[in-house]
Amino acid sequence: MKIMLAPMEGVVDHLMRDMLTRVGGFDQCVTEFVRVVEQKLPKKTFYRICPELANGGKTPSGVPVRVQLLGQHPQWLAENALTAIELGSPGVDLNFGCPAKTVNKSKGGAVLLKDTQTLYDIVKAVRSAVDDSQPVSAKIRLGFEDKSLAIENACAIAEAGASELVVHARTKVEGYKPPAYWEWIAKIKSHTSIPLVANGEIWSEQNALQCKQESGCDNLMVGRGALALPNLAKCIRDGETPMPWPEVAALLIQYSGFEIYGDKGRYYPNRIKQWCGYLKRQYLEAEVLFNDIRRLTNAQEIVDVLRRQTELESYAT
């Protein structure tokens, strides 16, 4: 079984990847998408989204991080895939699932799921450009409005030579609302032999077991679930019990140190609130914390609240 940490633009940056892979259980990460229009991007764009390139394409705890590209032009995607590989990305991933409106206007992401031929052309061009030793993976949803092209799209991506296919088991229109249609991954599996990774709505060990059963797929990718429960990958892999709140609070403080030091605190207030928003699903304490920090915009004030709250809790226990 392989467990991957999902790419999440604006949420899972290199600091979050560092922290979650230190907690452990992950075999691989994928970066937030690098948007490719009609140009060869400068190296600094790749280093900004994937600082791990300076560390051999791995997080500090040694988990490989693959660069993800998003765009519509086969040749430009191929050129930029070459740059990512030259800089040390362990393979390259292609995003065919992003629902964002601005992305779709420029015809990248999920809108391409309406156009099987373009999916094929993109994968083929990238596969031909990149050395055979380097994986070229793709990430899709089951379709844009409906699932009528799900199997055709997966088969086209496989025929074009992709090494692996992550399937987020919902259409673009279904967004992020439960359920995820894991049984559709089994349907895809019965039509193609490309290695598959099941994704969508895995929040617990129990969900992971059910997803594996319904999809027939051993490899999993988890996104929001790992933010709600930082040791989710270990719960799935080793049957670990969910991390208790004091350990999560310690991670929040550690992450605050990383974020403020790493990005000079610019993104910190939003990032920590976003993360708390996910933690609320698993921990009542996160709800209290979230209410205490939601109106704060200053990084130091937020850290002070965090420290105060965790000190109070350690007195109470």
Ligand X SMILES: Cc1cc2nc3c(=O)[nH]c(=O)nc-3n(C[C@H](O)[C@H](O)[C@H](O)COP(=O)(O)O)c2cc1C
Contacts with ligand X by CB under 6 A lie at 6-11, 32-33, 68, 95, 97-98, 139, 168, 176, 199-202, 222-225
State in angstroms the smallest separation of the CB of 228 from ligand X: 9
CB of 126 to ligand X, least distance (A): 15
Task: Find out whether 111 and 173 touch, Cβ atoms under 8 Å.
Answer: no
265: left (phi over 0), alpha (psi -120 to 50) or beta: left
Three-state DSSP at 136 gives strand
Active site residue 98: yes
Tokens at residue 144, please?
A: 């844009």
Q: Is 127 annotated as a binding residue?
A: no
Q: How far apart are CA 127 and CA 269, in angstroms?
A: 40
Task: Please tell me which residue in 50, 98, 217, 235 is annotated as part of the active site.
Answer: 98
User: Is residue 139 a known part of a binding site?
Assistant: yes
Instruction: Tell me the β-bridge partners of 140.
Output: 96, 167
29 vs 53, which CB is nearer to ligand X? 29
In the complex, minimum distance from the CB of residue 98 to ligand X, in angstroms, rounded to a whole number:
6
Residues with Cβ < 8 Å from 157, sequence gap 6 or more? 96, 119, 120, 123, 138, 140, 165, 194
Residue 257 and residue 272: Cα distance in Å, rounded?
A: 11
DSSP type of residue 232: H
Q: How far is the CB of 129 from ligand X (least distance, A)?
A: 21
Question: Is residue 104 a known part of a binding site?
Answer: no
Q: Which residue is nearest to ligand X (CB)?
A: 223
Task: Compare residues 19 and 303 and give the one whose CB is closer to ligand X.
Answer: 19
The reply to whether 199 sits in an annotated binding site is yes
> Is 17 annotated as ligand-binding?
no
Active site residues: 98
Instruction: Tell me the binding residues.
Output: 68, 139, 168, 199-201, 223-224
Instruction: Tell me the binding residues for FMN.
Output: 68, 139, 168, 199-201, 223-224
